[in-house]
Structure 1
Amino acid sequence: MPVDSEMTRESMEYDVVIVGGGPSGLSAAIRLKQIDPEISVVVLEKGSEIGAHILSGAVLDPSGLDALIPDWKDRGAPLKTEVVDDNFYILGEAGEVRVPNWPMPPLMNNHGNYIVSMGNVCRWLAEQAEELGVEIFPGMAASQLVWQGSRVKGVVAGEMGLEADGTPGPNYEPGMELHGKYVFIAEGVRGSLAKEVIHRFGLSDDHEPQKFGLGMKEIWEVSPEKFQKGRVVHTMGWPLGRNAGGGSFIYHFEDNQVLVGFVVHLNYANPHLYPYMEFQRFKHHPMVAELLEGGKRVAYGARAISEGGWQSIPELSFEGGVLLGCSAGLVNVPRIKGNHNAMLSGIAAAEAAAGAIAAGREGDRLTDYDRAVRSGAIARDLKQVRNVKPIWSKLGLWPSLMLGGFDMWVANLTGWNPMGTWKHGKTDAQATGKAADYKPIDYPRPDGKLSFDRLTNVSFSFTNHEESQPCHLRLKDASIPITVNLPDYAEPAQRYCPAGVYEVLQGDDGPRFQINFQNCVHCKTCDIKDPSQNINWTTPQGGDGPNYPNM
């Protein structure tokens, strides 16, 4: 039998419990201690270390860091590569057209921003937090919420040693309850606790559904003569064409390393689409191949990206806590940036919580935080770009560039969006079409030089899961993959997962669905895109998953 959820555990009391050691959670922790060093703060991180599960492009807008630690340069923050060259291309199969920078709204300008490893930025933020007295516990997955009536009182973290059937093994550790006056949920995109509180409190009921993209990234060491430190390239068009929205980024980072990424919007209709193979095919474009030939891929990873923007932000506060960063969905899609807003959300939440604690409050809703997000710098950043994604989804790439660009220009100059506020409508799961209505797509085999099979690439994410534990990818109905998804949608889990977790295997008794959870890089795509919404991503035991060195 599974472990009793009502079992007695040891508990620890804090003023604020923060779930997630990413930019939003660490910024909140630092700001709380800046306001009042006596506030007790703990940060729980499911990765083996801070930064182990962080994956981002990333070109960082330093506005969030400026607000949090104005002297970050003097403190040695790992922002060493300022953008010096900003390029945008529309790709065809054999060539490219550069889009000049001058027609683009000023908000799209990357000068003054930095190419960074957000994993390393978070490691540095953790050092700043610990110097202020924040307690940080890596390898501590928060697997359950602790409730006190209708209030979130804390979380259960550090439960380890369960057997595959959910029963305690010989090395079972029940974990601890960490209680707080307020609990900050900063898990990143589609976190399991965030999903629970959004559903239980109805936080998204009066808002558009959240939309998502799948971002895949490789780090390449290229020939020194091809490396151009500070160069930024974004592309749209081939190979996705009309099959899906999305695009690529190529960032020349440091030490001859180039960050190569590809994003596929998850509202695509054709269930035969294979996002990972679209990424691999992209690298064979002449412009990209010329850069990478003679180089070496040294790391790989993937994660979902929140793309709903302004109209999809849920209510952010609930009884006992708040949602931060990507748990709230604060990415600016045209800019391909969310880390600055994540940091600003952490600052705003910390200020609201510190004020409440000073006033003797606890466990209520921090409505001041909601107001700060919806009226401050985050709102200004997201409101002016709010129509780009839904226009793209409904009308395609070129109308989005024209109409969305016009809408952004006017909003940038006047603060008013002439296109109003477009709606997203369907969820990404609902957008999936029936397999019979679409043609399968023929993808070329990876050549092992520029393009690679999934399992080989997953080895470059340094992913590891203890195999004896329960599978953290849970099916609501084990029959649906074969009885519904296979005949209706050609079981797209075989393709949308960028880590090869899901397979349909043929046996003497017919097809069966297999979950290779050991491969999981925690991207959450399955939880988002499964057309039957049958897969529930939950956190595995602490420390498991990818171990990204400098993503």
Structure 2
Amino acid sequence: MEFDVVIVGAGPSGLSAAIRLMQQAQESEQELMVCVVEKGSEVGAHILSGAVFEPRSLAELFPNYQELGAPLNSKVNGDDIYYLSGADKGTKLPGFATPKTMHNDGNYIVSMGNVCRWLAEQAEAMGVEIFPGFPAQQVIYEDGKVAGVITQDMGLDRDGNPKDSYMPGMELRAKYTIFAEGCRGHLGKELIAKFALDEGKSPQHYGIGFKEIWDIDPDKHQEGLVVHTAGWPLSGDTTGGGYLYHAENNQVFVGLIVDLNYSNPHLSPFDEFQRMKHHPVYKQYLDGGKRVSYGARALAKGGYNSLVKMTMPGGVLVGCDAGTINFAKIKGNHTAMKSGMLAAETIFAALAAGDEGGNDLTAFTEKFESSWLYDELYNSRNFGPAMHKLGTFFGGAYNTLDQNLFGGKLPFNFKDDTQDYAQLKLASEVPMIHYPKPDGVLSFDKLSSVFLSNTNHEEEQPCHLQLKDAEIPITVNWPKYGEPAQRYCPAGVYEVEESDEGAKFVINAQNCIHCKTCDIKDPSQNITWVTPEGTGGPNYPNM
């Protein structure tokens, strides 16, 4: 099938690109064929975000978004920020003592899954073709240029042999392809390496973000209240922070982000999140409530210093595939949307001028560098590196000074040039961490949590978690690091089974919630995440 533009991923950046393309086509009365492929069973099924949403890009895309019924219903009306110094200790910080980027006036508490479903409705009404359940498996290259993608084969057994239900992938050809897969997209990872798009940049840095949705006692609910915390349960060189957002319908969104540059291989981000909920700041709202959903996803938080070159011959990387999140705000949806819109404007201008495709659209870089998106990312460039180098307290103090008094323009450039996976120390060099047993009231185990994510994969299919060397987990990672995949994975995918015959590495791919943490944090860089069969993975109803 041939299109003018193929977009990989129906998240905020991909859908915004599709809509902006069609808006321009309609304005100029030109015909344009745009296709979006999405690996989830439906648009929004794989979307997970906090999310406090800044509507700036949405207002540019649809100035009348409220009249159109965009699902932005809970306006932020309060910001509570705490520094937690222990399991039952915490100090509420005054507004002047926190970076102004953390203040949320004019923002909304939303389900980004539902926002993406709404965006998809707008895109389809304009003539965009959206194919959910069709993962893009590989890039089509011709003469060193991107020429489209091939979707996943369906109906293969564990060994890759066709079953009775076999259906080969589709070849989707395009003049230009926009890659909007989200953080650590497997095609984006390939393109960055192939075209050296990260040359001269700091390596990308990541966090793993957890989220649960709770129905809580209406008497404890304060719709519009945003709560952020720093400090406990994380300590030492482990940085990150927690959140609790009061959404509509007596629900709260609660979660924890753990930066993946931590050094102790015994650390379990999942268990840190579970014990965080017992702190009085969180417990006061969750007590008597019911957990109704769970998920986790990696996020690219390197910011400006790690932002890759976003164009290559025939293609553009946008959103978290390129690393556009503004971690100073803990927000990436408005920036992802803007990057998709800029890509759409660049591509449409090229096609309208008679471009036949396959070029490196350098005009995109000029457009990006003259946009508010560039200014926002540049002015927050030191936020993450300062936290990594100075720690939560002193890094936070520097960022407050830099953002509140100098608008991000202090003449310093902090860099963090060590890969996250390379930060792990040997298991013998660091203390063990003993986590309390979950109580089934505020804290839970991994398997009951995965159940709430509605995760499912066709069992008889090739494993989508590929090992470069099947021996490394037991011969290298097990003796050196206690095989940390057992702990950094938030879904119980990886286990080491010990018996009289020795240790065996087990991959429960059925449990995978597509967070990509294993692809990022494995100390031997031995695990590669690729797309499973279409519709596989979580099915988040309103994350």
TM band (smaller chain)? over 0.9
Identify the residue that residue 469 of structure 1 maps to in structure 2. Answer: 461
* Counterpart among 294, 299, 303 of residue 305 in structure 1: 299
Q: 1:325 aligns to what?
A: 319
Q: In 2, are the aligned partners of 1:505 and 1:514 still within 8 Å (CA)? A: yes
Task: Specify whether residues 247 and 107 from structure 1 end up closer, same or farther in structure 2 by C-alpha distance, changes over 3 A only.
Answer: closer
Match of 1:453 among 437, 445, 450: 445
Give the drift of 1:503.
0.2
Q: Secondary structure at the match of 1:430?
A: helix
The amino acid across from 1:317 in the alignment is T
Letter in 2 for 1:32: L
List aligned pairs for 1:215-254, cutoff 5 A: 215-254=209-248
The equivalent residue for 1:13 is 2
Q: Offset at 1:287?
A: 2.1
Which segment is superposed worse, 65-74 or 390-399? 390-399
Cross-structure match for 1:83: 76
Residue in 2 that maps onto 1:4: none
Residue in 1 aligned with 2:511?
519
Deviation per residue, 1:450-480 (Å, 9 max, x gap): 0000000000000000000000000000000
How far, CA to CA, are the matches of 2:168 and 2:406 in structure 1?
Answer: 52
Q: How does 1:163-174 map to 2 (within 5 A)?
A: 163-174=157-168
Distance, in Å, in 1 between the alignment partners of 2:67 and 2:89 is: 44
User: Residue 389 of structure 2: which of 389, 394, 404 is its match?
Assistant: 394
Q: 2:104 aligns with which of 86, 110, 120?
A: 110
Matches within 5 A, 1:343-362: 343-361=337-355, 362=357
Q: Which amino acid in the other structure matches residue 509 of structure 1?
A: E
Distance, in Å, in 2 between the alignment partners of 1:386 and 1:124 is 32
8 Å CA contact 2:99–2:404 kept in 1: the answer is yes
Moved more, 54-63 or 354-363: 354-363
Letter in 2 for 1:85: G
Contact 1:243 1:273 in 2 (8 A): no
- Residue of structure 1 in register with 2:414 after alignment: 422
Q: Distance in 2 between matches of 1:434 and 1:291?
A: 39
How far residue 385 of structure 1 moved from its aligned partner, in angstroms, is 1.4
Tell me, in whole angstroms, the C-alpha distance in 1 between the residues paired with 2:207 and 2:389.
16
Q: Is the 8 A contact 2:422 2:523 kept in 1?
A: yes
- Give the deviation of 1:434 after TM superposition: 1.0
Q: What amino acid sits opposite 1:381 in the alignment?
A: E
Partner SS, residue 407 of structure 1: helix
CA contact (8 A) 2:101 2:328 kept: no
Rounded Cα–Cα distance in structure 1 between residues aligned with 2:515 and 2:486? 15
- For 1:231 and 1:40, the matched residues in 2 are separated by 43
Q: Which residue of 1 aligns with 2:358?
A: 363
Structure 1 unaligned segments of length 5 or more: list them.
1-11
1:218 Cα deviation (Å)? 0.3
Unaligned 5+ residue runs, structure 2? Answer: none
Displacement, 1:410? 4.2
1:406 is aligned to 401
1:158 to partner: Cα distance: 4.2
Q: State whether residues 491 and 512 of structure 2, in contact with CA within 8 Å, keep that contact through their aligned partners in structure 1.
A: yes
Structure 2 CA distance for aligned equivalents of residues 290 and 27 of structure 1: 38
**Could you tell me how far apart the structure 2 residues matched to 1:517 and 1:425 are?**
32
- For residues 53 and 475 of structure 2, the distance between their equivalents in structure 1, rounded to whole angstroms, comes to 45
Instruction: Tell me what 1:51 maps to.
Output: 44
Provide Cα deviations, 1:422-473, integer angstroms capped at 9, x if missing partner.
1111111111111111011010000011000000000000000000000000
Give distance in 2, aligned partners of 1:444 and 1:177.
Answer: 50
Tell me, in whole angstroms, the C-alpha distance in 1 between the residues paired with 2:322 and 2:335: 10
Residue 39 of structure 1 aligns to a residue whose secondary structure is coil
**What percent identity do the matched residue pairs reach?**
55
In the other structure, the counterpart of 1:64 is 57
| Deviation sequence 1:9-65 (CA, Å, 0-9, x none) | xxx000000000000000000000000141110000000000000000000000010
Q: CA deviation at 1:290?
A: 2.1
1:241 Cα offset (Å): 1.8
Contact 2:205 2:419 in 1 (8 A): yes
User: How far did 1:106 drift?
Assistant: 3.5
SS state at 1:429 partner: helix
Specify the code of the residue in structure 2 equivalent to 1:476. Answer: K
Q: Tell me what 1:272 maps to.
A: 266
Q: CA deviation at 1:67?
A: 0.9
* SS of corresponding position for 1:218: strand
Displacement after TM superposition at 1:231 (Å): 0.3
Q: Distance in 1 between matches of 2:422 and 2:344?
A: 36
Question: Is contact 2:465–2:509 with CA below 8 Å preserved after alignment?
Answer: yes
Deviations 1:291-341 (A, max 9, x none): 111100000000001110001000000011000100011111121100000
Counterpart in the other structure of 1:504 = 496
Q: Say how many residue pairs are matched.
A: 537
C-alpha deviation, 1:379, in angstroms: 1.2
Match runs of 1:123-202 below 5 Å: 123-202=117-196
For residue 432 of structure 1, what is the amino acid of its counterpart? L
Q: What is the aligned partner in structure 1 of residue 376 from structure 2?
A: 381
TM-score (norm 1): 0.96
Q: Please state whether the residue corresponding to 1:102 is helix, strand or coil.
A: helix
Question: Could you tell me how far apart the structure 2 residues matched to 1:368 and 1:83 are?
Answer: 37
**Structure 2 Cα separation of the partners of residues 297 and 109 of structure 1:** 27
- CA distance 1:229–1:197, change in 2 (3 Å): same
Map of 2:487 onto structure 1: 495
Structure 1 SS opposite 2:296: strand
**What is the Cα-based RMSD across aligned positions, in Å?**
1.0
- Give the whole-Å Cα distance in 1 for the aligned partners of 2:226 and 2:504: 45
Say whether residues 1:548 and 2:540 are aligned partners.
yes
Q: In 1, distance between residues paired with 2:366 and 2:399? A: 27
Please list the CA deviations of residues 134-177 of structure 1 after superposition, one character each: whole Å capped at 9, or x if unmatched: 00000000001111120010101142111101121121100210
**In 1, are the aligned partners of 2:11 and 2:47 still within 8 Å (CA)?**
yes
Shift of 1:105: 4.3
Counterpart residue type for residue 205 of structure 1: E
